[in-house]
Amino acid sequence: MNAAEALAFMRKNWREFSTAYWLQLAPDSTVRRYFWSGTGQHRAFAEEEGFAKYLRGKLKECYMHRKPPLEAHGSLDLTVKPKAPVEFYSGSPVYGRITAVDLDLREQKVEPGEALERFAKAVNLLLDWGVEPEIRLSGGGVHLTFPLPLLEDPCGFNRKLLRWLGKKCKLVFDEKVCAEHHLMRLTFSWHSKGLFALPLDPWELELKWEELQALAANLEEVERRLKGYGVRWQPIGGPVELERFRALLKLLEPEESGGGLSKRPLRRVWRKPEGWVRCEVPGLGRVEYSAELEGFGYVRALVEKEVLLKDGKLNAAWLLLAPAVARGLLSREEAESWLRKAAEACGRDPEPYLKKFEYELRRRAGKGSGSPELALPSWRSLLTGRKKNGELLEDYYGAVREPLLEALMEKCLVRSFKGGERG
Query: pLDDT tens for residues 407-418?
Result: 898 888 887 766
Number of Cβ within a 10 Å radius of residue 181:
11
Judged against a pLDDT cut of 60, whether residue 421 lies above it is answered with no
Could you write out the DSSP letters of every residue in 59-94? HHHHHHTTPPPP--EEESEEEE--SS--SS--SSSE
Q: What average pLDDT does the structure give for the chain? A: 80
pLDDT at 118: 92
Ordered structural domains, the chain, with CATH: 3-255 (3.90.920.10), 279-421 (no CATH)
58 against 247, higher pLDDT: 58
- How far, in Å, CA of 279 to CA of 287, rounded? 5
Nearest CA among 323, 331, 297, 326 for reference residue 375: 323
Rounded to whole angstroms, how far apart are CA atoms 174 and 170?
A: 13
Residue 84 has pLDDT above 50, yes or no: no
- pLDDT band for position 235 (cuts 50, 70, 90): low
Q: Would you say 96 and 77 are in contact if contact means Cβ atoms under 8 Å apart?
A: yes
- Give Cα 255 distance to the centre of its chain: 35
Is residue 7 over pLDDT 90?
yes
At 265-310, the pLDDT tens digits run 333 334 334 467 777 777 777 788 888 888 888 998 888 889 888 8
Give pLDDT, residue 105.
92
**Does residue 170 contact residue 119 with C-beta atoms inside 8 Å?**
no
**Mean pLDDT, residues 194-215 taken together:** 88
pTM greater than 0.95 (yes/no): no
Q: What is the mean pLDDT of residues 358-381?
A: 78
Q: Give pLDDT tens digits for 150-189.
A: 677 888 889 989 998 999 899 999 999 998 888 999 999 9
CB 70 within 8 A of CB 36: no
> Considering Cα of 213, then 216, then 217, then 221, what sign does the dihedral take?
positive
pLDDT tens-place string over residues 36-79: 887 666 787 888 899 999 999 999 999 998 888 888 999 998 87
Whether the per-residue pLDDT at 377 is higher than 50: the answer is yes
Which of the residue ranges 93-102, 256-265, 364-373 has the most confident prediction, judged by mean pLDDT? Answer: 93-102
Burial class of residue 203 (count of CB atoms within 10 Å of its CB; 0-12, 13-18, 19+):
middle
Distance CA 315, CA 299 (A): 14
